Chain A
Amino acid sequence: MGFFAKIFFMALTALFVQNFVLSRFLGLCPYLGVSKKLDSAFGMGLAVIFVMTLAGAFCYLVDAYLLVPNGLQYLRTLAFILLIAALVQFVEMVIQKNSPALYKALGVYLPLITTNCAVLGVVLLNTTLTWPDGKTYNFLDATLNGFFSGVGFTFVLLAMAGIRERLEYADLPESMKGMPIGLILAGCMALAFWGFMGFKM
């Protein structure tokens, strides 16, 4: 496969076919928790894309040059979660110092990302995912997969927030308000996304 075909394949998979939230069930807590307002959903989405791209890159480096050569694959979970936590802290400090405007937009969401299972999920998946021809991911693939998975997450988060904002005005039964209708809504979205499942490349 050519380089751009690969990228296109990856983007399409992460955005639609195997969407992180709706088909892999990762990152549901922020998906249901931070999707009440469109602008906070946007901030959260940007922060997730940022951290996931960096985590994809750094965790790949640690895995390929530190864990695998020394036969320490069993430490992956521990190493990755610590790396992500450190990364989030570091990103927070850098943003706070260099770009107060961005910090104001992302600041509240950054600490939440450490325990977002989408981030740990993508780096763990990067170690096991393969291309259709059986090759494992290299550094660029891992980074891009992090980025596109983040975009896929943000995409459905924004869609959900958009719907939920309108839902404020709907006349719902008392017991359906809040979480239950959110979940059923997510079910309908997942159903729509299931249509992409037939795509084969």
Chain B
Amino acid sequence: MNFFKTLINGIIKENPTFVIVLGMCPTLATSTSVNNAVGMGIAATFVLICSNMMIAMVKNITPDKIRIPVYVVVIAAFVSIVDMSMAAYVPALSKSLGIFIPLIVVNCIILGRAEAYAGKNNVISSMADGIGMGAGFTLSLTVVATIREILGNGTWGAGNWFGTDWKGIHVMPGNYDPMLLFVLAPGAFITLGTLMAIMNLLKNKRS
């Protein structure tokens, strides 16, 4: 029961992007298309689960003073694994995410969860927290990417999925003139800002 509670907590109540507002760089940089967003989300989720479990395992033997360096080394090790596996198995995705895969190391969500959760809880609930937070991150990335891709490109989900090219669903009519702005950097800021304002509006209405 508790397992699912922790899991849901990461997706809704403590959503890393919209509620805690952590890990802004990958959210904005890799949400250009749904394909990129899902790839980034899965990579970050994998690192989050593995590092959370590992840190929960070693928390009793790590001296308190050097815990942050220990966390960073654990995270960096898993990030290197992800980086190399992606370059080997999904080269197209690895190329389009580029520098943001190694930069998962400094993603505040992962270090933040290690410090706030995995360092204080057991292995199983740390895993649940990792899955929940990772799913929450992937979900919010996908939401931002959906808006950006539909407005900026007229499609949903176009790209290279695990080795096969997919044209994606054409959401907009054929003669739709794509708003390039939304695929570029400014669109990322504006989309996320607007989404957050809408979330705040809903929250204020409810209370």
Contacts and interface: CB of A to CB of B under 8 A. Distances in A.
Contacts of A188: 186
A176 B188 CA distance: 17
A50 interface: no
A180 B29 CA distance: 17
B contacts with A: majority SS: helix
A183 B99 contact: no
A159 interface: no
A78 B76 contact: yes
Contacts of B102: 76-77, 120, 124
20 contacts: A74-B84, A75-B80, A78-B80, A82-B73, A115-B106, A115-B111, A117-B106, A117-B107, A120-B105, A121-B99, A174-B200, A176-B197, A181-B197, A182-B193, A183-B189, A184-B189, A184-B190, A184-B193, A187-B188, A190-B185
Interface in A22-42: 22-29, 32
B86 interface: no
Contact of B200 (A24, A124, A175, A184): A175
Contacts of A91: none
B149 interface: no
Interface of B: 21-25, 28-29, 69, 72-73, 76-77, 79-80, 83-84, 99, 102-103, 105-108, 111, 181, 184-190, 192-194, 196-198, 200-201, 203-204
Interface of A: 22-29, 32, 74-78, 81-82, 85, 114-117, 120-121, 124-125, 128, 173-176, 179-184, 186-188, 190-191, 194
Contacts of B197: 173, 175-176, 180-181
A124 B194 contact: no
B188 A25 contact: yes
Given A29-B23, A29-B108, 6 more contacts: A23-B185, A81-B76, A128-B99, A175-B204, A180-B196, A181-B197
B196 A183 contact: yes
Contacts of A81: 72, 76, 105-106
Contacts of A78: 73, 76-77, 80
B69 A85 contact: yes
Nearest to B28: A25
A186 B22 CA distance: 17
Contacts of A180: 193-194, 196-197, 200
A186 B189 contact: yes
Nearest to B189: A187
A114 B23 CA distance: 14
Contacts of A190: 184-186, 189
Contacts of B203: 175
Contacts of A128: 99
Given A115-B108, A120-B106, A190-B186, A179 B21 contact: yes
B185 A22 contact: yes
Contacts of B22: 29
Contacts of A25: 25, 28-29, 185, 188
Nearest to A190: B186
A121 B105 CA distance: 11
A191 B186 contact: yes
